[in-house]
Amino acid sequence: MRARTAIIAGAGRLPATLARALPEALICAPAGIAPEGLSVAQPFHFERLVPFLRDLGNRGIETVVMAGAIERPSLDPALFDRDTAQLVPDLLRAIQSGDDGALRWVIGLMEEFDLRVEGVPQIAPDLLIAEGPATARAPSADEAADAARGAEILAALAPVDVGQGCVICAGQAIGLETLYGTDAMLADVGRHRPERAPHKGGTFVKRAKAGQDLRVDLPTIGPATIEAAAQAGLTAIALQQGHVIVLDRDAVLARADAAGIALWGMA
């Protein structure tokens, strides 16, 4: 029998999807975050992280999954307990080293409390895109070439810790993902297309950043992504196989097929 698991839930639909795969899991969430479609059994404050982690151990939790978006919290000095307060200098140093650094620090801390951190690849591998076409239509040679060019651009950006997504059309970068995320990028592409050729076509490429910890913060798409891609005039979506979560898979593929979009898992 599987050891008891806690889901640390952030925003979005991923936590509820994972909870369906793990009906026995304890649902935890930072105070103030209400995960979609999920009731929280155990809210916690970042300022009291040490007592929270200790309590998980006391309840027999051995495995933790972090899922969903958690923005950097502002911290209330009055809430800190003494143990957590002593960690603050380390935490601030980790935050300054970027999102990946902060996550690595949190994972390390959990491991110090004998909690095993697992990710979607271990817990619910079916949520990840597999290699090959998932839609009725496979990519054309041009779309596959644009996907390869996009993968090359994202590989160049990974060492500077930027971007998990881009849009390529006829070999040209027409969208590069920033802090504002995928939806913003796809909306921008749609807005700019009338300005200059090519006015339609193109491939949305989404990959994990090379070197990122796959246990947390995996790139995720859902039905709204397909809508946004279609509205931007795109005809193809290339997802790094085994590294991108597809939420509501049936709805995603139905909408992609309806829009004539080829969606596939690429190496």
Q: State the alpha helices, DSSP H only, in 38-165.
A: 49-58, 82-96, 99-112, 120-123, 141-157
| Residues recorded for the chain | 267
**Between 40 and 189, whose beta carbon lies closer to its own copies?**
189
Q: How far apart are CA 202 and CA 165, in angstroms?
A: 13
**Between 133 and 171, whose beta carbon lies closer to its own copies?**
171
CB of 178 to its own copies, least distance (A): 5
**Between 139 and 163, whose beta carbon lies closer to its own copies?**
163
CB of 191 to its own copies, least distance (A): 8
Cα→Cα distances 30→13, 27, 73, 203, 251, Å: 16, 11, 9, 36, 30
3-state SS of the chain: helix, strand, coil percent to 5? 45, 20, 35
Cα→Cα distances 190→95, 186, 262, Å: 34, 6, 18
**Between 138 and 224, whose beta carbon lies closer to its own copies?**
224
Tokens describing residue 65:
């999954």
Q: Are strands 42-44 and 26-30 parallel, antiparallel or unpaired?
A: parallel
CB of 264 to its own copies, least distance (A): 22
CB 168 within 8 A of CB 174: yes
Going across the sheet that includes 262-266, the strands are 132-133, 262-266, 236-240, 203-206, 165-169, 172-176
Give the residues lining the site for its own copies (CB under 8 A): 71, 98, 149, 152-153, 156-157, 159-160, 162-163, 171-180, 184, 188, 192, 195-196
CB of 52 to its own copies, least distance (A): 25
CB 150 within 8 A of CB 96: no
**Between 23 and 194, whose beta carbon lies closer to its own copies?**
194
**Between 54 and 192, whose beta carbon lies closer to its own copies?**
192
